[in-house]
């Protein structure tokens, strides 16, 4: 039995090492292609390379150099796809070896200290913002309009031509998170630099909010919430809906704060909750609505548990949970946005298909990064299914259920705003990660999961930086 156990453990470790080597091979291939690929392809196309390589390209007279760039990119991506697919097979082999012996019943949470958590957060944050700082023009759809508004707000008082064309009235408006932030940052930085800082801070607020929510629910610190970094580059970001993502980051902090103050005096909870709800109103109206849904689910579930002991306390909790939205409601009614309520709502058709398509908002828009992302997620799922468990915090059952139902019921357009339901999956994903806990049967599997996450983040930054740099060159031609 001892000899079999020794063989089985060694077999599993060899399979894990094989999987990591395949990932390293994919990384080396991507780095090599990114650094030397374009030059090598150009030399082969113009027959300046080795003779045996110059014969690889046929039909130069009828095909442009861009054709061979695209063809080689497809070949490299296909090879990386094969390597990443093969990297999943060792997990099945490892499971086959483990299935012949009794698995340990203990699970390991892999808790970390505050210092380790801060270091991990900083590393993930720095790697994640590399693409934002690798280009001159950030290729996000609505981003230039935000920058233009920030320029007008910062220089309106000193430029008569802006005063002739624009009139600055009330700032009591929802969805003003980026405008107000750039109005402040613009006092110290250029508008372009302030915009990059704001997007970077949005990433940090989303990552930190997910970790904060996790610690409020489980009372310990873990690397698991940093898995939310997989979804920082998403369809919502590509559309340039930075105000909304900023609102989601604040939403995560607001939920964690609401859980933290649950034992405090009702008046204290009312004041803090009102401040959080008001901040969400100015950040983004949809984030405020999601906060109302989460608070409603959380307080209803909590009140159901306390009702038998004290009906008065249960009623007080529900009343406070509702009262914190009175000031944001008043601000909405006196804002010009309230007049858009008559614009009506609409649902995209076909309904079920559009809801499924909306899940595409979780992906980055880059085919290689999407492939890497789905591969890593599949890898995590295999590890959890075969060697661990993923638990949802009990106090958040009803809140998460309400969020899922709201996604199904929300229209695609309301208050003259479009893609409403398309925005929801990314919010649900971040909240769900913050509300779940990963436990594996050994510390070794935590290390495997950590290596996979680190590898994906590095590969994603390289791929997006390369892709955005090419887009940057195209944008500069129209400058």
State how far the Cα of 361 lies from the Cα of 353, in Å rounded to an integer.
Answer: 14
pLDDT at position 100 is 45
283, 334 Cβ separation under 8 angstroms: no
378, 274 Cβ separation under 8 angstroms: no
List average pLDDT for each run of 10 residues in the chain, which is 479 residues long: 42 63 75 75 76 67 73 72 66 51 56 88 94 88 90 87 83 86 89 93 96 94 92 92 95 96 93 96 94 96 85 90 95 81 66 70 82 80 80 93 89 73 91 92 76 84 85 74
Strand partners, 391: 437
Cα separations in angstroms, 173 against 101, 130, 276, 284, 335: 62, 32, 16, 9, 6
Cα separations in angstroms, 256 against 210, 398, 406: 9, 16, 20
Tell how far CA 104 is from the center of its chain. 34
Q: How does strand 436-440 pair with strand 417-418? A: unpaired
293, 399 Cβ separation under 8 angstroms: yes
Neighbours of 449 (CB within 10 A): 23
**What is the residue whose two structure tokens read 């898995």?**
227
Q: Show the beta-strand stretches assigned E in 282-400.
A: 388-392
Tell how far CA 337 is from the center of its chain. 28
CA dihedral over 406, 409, 415, 420, signed as positive or negative: positive
Long-range contacts of 102-108 (CB under 8 A, 24+ apart): 103/441, 104/441, 104/442, 106/441, 107/388, 107/389, 107/439, 107/440, 107/441, 108/439, 108/440, 108/441, 108/442, 108/443, 108/446
383, 450 Cβ separation under 8 angstroms: no
State how far the Cα of 289 lies from the Cα of 284, in Å rounded to an integer.
Answer: 9
252, 209 Cβ separation under 8 angstroms: yes
pLDDT at position 269 is 95
- Which DSSP category does 410 fall into? -
State how far the Cα of 464 lies from the Cα of 157, in Å rounded to an integer.
Answer: 39
Phi, psi of 183 (to 5 degrees): -65, -35
Integer-rounded Cα Rg, in Å, for the chain is 26
State how far the Cα of 440 lies from the Cα of 307, in Å rounded to an integer.
Answer: 36
Q: Show the beta-strand stretches assigned E in 47-149.
A: none
Instruction: Spell 338-377 as b/e; 16+ CB within 10 A means b.
Output: eeeeeeeeeebeeeeeebeebeebbbbbbebbebbbebbb
State how far the Cα of 126 lies from the Cα of 129, in Å rounded to an integer.
Answer: 6
State how far the Cα of 478 lies from the Cα of 467, in Å rounded to an integer.
Answer: 18
Strand partners, 108: 440
pLDDT at position 101 is 47
State how far the Cα of 263 lies from the Cα of 201, in Å rounded to an integer.
Answer: 31
Torsion of CA 468, 469, 475, 476, to 10 degrees: 160
State how far the Cα of 423 lies from the Cα of 414, in Å rounded to an integer.
Answer: 13
Show the CA angle centred on residue 243, arms to residues 271 and 238, nearest 5°: 150
Tell how far CA 107 is from the center of its chain. 27
- Which DSSP category does 135 fall into? -
Strand partners, 133: none
406, 398 Cβ separation under 8 angstroms: no
Tell how far CA 64 is from the center of its chain. 38
């Amino acid at each position: 039995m001892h000899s079999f156990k020794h063989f089985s453990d060694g077999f599993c470790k060899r399979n894990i090492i094989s999987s990591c080597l395949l990932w390293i091979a994919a990384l080396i291939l991507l780095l090599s292609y990114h650094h030397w690929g374009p030059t090598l392809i150009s030399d082969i196309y113009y027959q300046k390379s080795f003779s045996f390589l110059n014969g690889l390209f046929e039909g130069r007279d009828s095909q442009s150099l861009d054709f061979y760039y695209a063809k080689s990119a497809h070949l490299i991506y296909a090879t990386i796809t094969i390597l990443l697919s093969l990297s999943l097979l060792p997990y099945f082999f490892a499971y086959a070896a483990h299935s012949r012996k009794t698995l340990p019943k203990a699970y390991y949470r892999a808790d970390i200290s505050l210092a380790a958590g801060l270091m991990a957060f900083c590393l993930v944050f720095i790697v994640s913002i590399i693409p934002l700082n690798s280009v001159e023009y950030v290729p996000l759809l609505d981003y230039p309009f935000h920058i233009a508004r920030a320029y007008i707000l910062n220089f309106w008082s000193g430029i008569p031509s802006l005063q002739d064309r624009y009139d600055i009235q009330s700032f009591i408006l929802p969805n003003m998170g980026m405008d107000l932030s750039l109005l402040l940052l613009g006092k110290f930085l250029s508008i372009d630099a302030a915009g990059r800082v704001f997007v970077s801070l949005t990433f940090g607020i989303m990552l930190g909010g997910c970790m904060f929510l996790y610690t409020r629910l489980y009372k310990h610190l873990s690397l698991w919430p940093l898995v939310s970094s997989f979804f920082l580059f998403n369809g919502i970001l590509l559309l340039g809906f930075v105000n909304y993502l900023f609102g989601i980051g604040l939403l995560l902090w607001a939920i964690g704060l609401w859980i933290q103050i649950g034992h405090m005096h009702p008046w204290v909870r009312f004041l803090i909750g009102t401040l959080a709800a008001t901040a969400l109103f100015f950040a983004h109206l949809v984030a405020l609505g999601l906060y109302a849904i989460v608070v409603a689910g959380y307080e209803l579930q909590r009140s159901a548990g306390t009702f038998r002991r004290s009906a008065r306390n249960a009623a007080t909790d529900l009343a406070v949970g509702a009262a914190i939205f009175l000031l944001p409601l008043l601000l909405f009614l006196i804002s010009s946005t309230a007049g858009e309520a008559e614009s009506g709502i609409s649902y995209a058709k076909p309904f079920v298909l559009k809801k499924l398509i909306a899940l595409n908002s979780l992906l980055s828009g880059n085919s290689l990064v999407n492939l890497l992302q789905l591969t890593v997620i599949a890898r995590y799922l295999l590890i959890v299914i075969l060697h661990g468990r993923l638990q949802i915090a009990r106090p958040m059952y009803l809140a998460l259920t309400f969020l899922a139902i709201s996604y199904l019921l929300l229209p695609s357009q309301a208050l003259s705003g479009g893609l409403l339901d398309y925005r929801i999956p990314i919010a649900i994903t971040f909240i769900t990660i913050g509300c779940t806990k990963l436990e594996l049967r050994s510390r070794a599997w935590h290390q495997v999961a950590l290596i996979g996450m680190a590898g994906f983040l590095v590969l994603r930054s390289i791929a997006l930086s390369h892709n955005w740099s090419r887009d940057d060159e195209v944008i500069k031609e129209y400058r």
